[in-house]
Structure 1
Amino acid sequence: MARKMRSGVIGGAVALAAALWLYLVAGAIGGAIPVNRSWTPPKTGVTIWVESNGVHTGLIVPKVAAGIDWRPLLRPDHLADPRFAGWSHASFGWGERAFYLETPTWVQVRPATVIAAALGSDRTLVHVDHVPPPRRTGADVRRIVLRPEEYRRLAAYLRASFAERPTPERGYYKWDAFYAARGHYSAIHTCNAWTGAALAEAGVKVGWWTPFPQMVLRWF
């Protein structure tokens, strides 16, 4: 009996490792296949940024640009310190509720939280940080210039990710908040896949499937 149990545990571990390896390989392949192949950035337009903290990616956009004004939705009273609403830009991210609230960085990542989110959840959130525009780009922040119509398509995608009545919740710090969201989170549709899909919807050249942060950033 003990031998059979041991064999079953080993077999399960091997199967799990194989599934994880296949997922990583599939993500690398999906992130390398471009959509919107003919897209090129304009010389002038609306400047946005894609950022990563190593776990979650987000899109930094101006609060007012190309006829889009985010201020009525992202109100100062949603923040622990309303003064931060005076910053000119907002960073948008989307993800599974427990994963978002419990894993602001890799230090807080717990396997049980990751597995539960990967299996699928309809409890999703939009995370918004009020920020100044990035001073410089680097390994974790990339600059993108969009045409006005491309930015409007991006903004429509972002807005559609919010629930119909997006009740705000206080965030990690004094300048961010979470909002109830639409969408089903899973190992297929991760927070990073959402970022890639948002850029693809705008018409930007990006990976076909971007489940990992690196698969988004590599295009910019």
Structure 2
Amino acid sequence: MNIKKKIARLILKFVLGFVAFVLLYALSAFIFSIWTVNKEPGTSNDVAIYILTNGDHTDIVLPVKTAVIDWSKELSYQNTIAKDTTNKYLAIGWGDKGFYLNTPTWADLKFSTAFKAAFALSTSAIHATYYRDMRENNDCKKIMISDEQYKRMVAFIDSSFKRNAAGKVINIKTNANYGNDDAFYEAKRKYNMFYTCNTWANNALKAGGQTACVWTPFDRGIFYHYR
């Protein structure tokens, strides 16, 4: 009887601890998401970038070619199915490799994939998608930044790619493409519940001196500041 009581108490403590952790995580995400990191004042509007969400994940959308960088030189059009060189914008997102390659829809999500992602047990990838043009709406917001800010943002994004011995980005050969204009690349760092795809996008905005959250694991945190 005593053993059963001890087991019951342990289970109760575990359940209460888990619930407390979830509530603390949610509260922290809410507070730090609405806590604003202000945009750098007095800067010029040289480059138009965008933030784009699919409802869960935030991409940073950049012009393919500017005086600062030509993304197509490393993230080649040839790595996509369409190989369409007329596309003018490139959406870049960072995330868990298992989610990107093995979970095309939420219905395909496996517990093992989610568990590994939450606890940094898998590797990461960068998803790069070319677009012909961009249209502003509730899921796509335009941001004007200076060349200097753009250089810093580019440096942050560039540092997220894993490279081979020759210093080249590593294209992931896969049939898990989302469409005809996207490709995947090996990335640094591991996804976890405290550093998600949206945390990465938020940090990219910070690197470029733009309005951002103090911290957020969710896309809603980022877009809250760009209503």
Asked if these proteins are the same fold (TM beyond 0.5), I'd say: yes
Matched AA of 1:49: Y
Deviations 1:63-107 (A, max 9, x none): 012421111111122112213x43111000001111222334444
Greater shift after overlay, 9-18 or 152-161?
Answer: 9-18
Quote how far apart the aligned CAs of 1:5 are.
4.8
Residue pair 2:116, 2:122 contacting (<8 A) in 1 also? no
**Residue matched to 2:69:** 68
Q: Secondary structure at the match of 1:86?
A: coil
TM-score by length of 2: 0.85
**Residue matched to 2:86:** 86
**Residue matched to 1:44:** 45
Over 3 Å counting, the alpha-carbon distance change for 1:38 and 1:182 in structure 2 is: closer
CA RMSD of aligned residues (A): 2.2
Which runs of structure 2 are paired with 1:149-188 in the superposition (5 Å)? 149-165=148-164, 166-169=169-172, 170=174, 171-188=177-194
Over 3 Å counting, the alpha-carbon distance change for 1:115 and 1:122 in structure 2 is: closer
Matched AA of 2:93: G
Distance 1:28 1:50 in 2: 20
Residue pair 2:89, 2:134 contacting (<8 A) in 1 also? no
Q: Secondary structure at the match of 2:73?
A: coil
Residue pair 1:103, 1:109 contacting (<8 A) in 2 also? yes
Quote how far apart the aligned CAs of 1:193 are.
0.4
Over 3 Å counting, the alpha-carbon distance change for 1:68 and 1:115 in structure 2 is: same
Deviations 1:83-138 (A, max 9, x none): 3x431110000011112223344443444422221111461101100112322322
Residue pair 2:40, 2:210 contacting (<8 A) in 1 also? yes
**Residue matched to 1:29:** 31
Greater shift after overlay, 69-78 or 117-126?
Answer: 117-126
Percent of pairs identical after alignment? 27
Distance 1:199 1:104 in 2: 26
TM-score by length of 1: 0.88
Which structure 1 residue ranges, 5 or more long, are not aligned?
none
Residue pair 1:66, 1:151 contacting (<8 A) in 2 also? no
Distance 2:80 2:152 in 1: 27
Aligned residues: 217
Q: Within the alignment, does 1:144 sit opposite 2:143 as a pair?
A: yes
Which structure 2 residue ranges, 5 or more long, are not aligned?
none
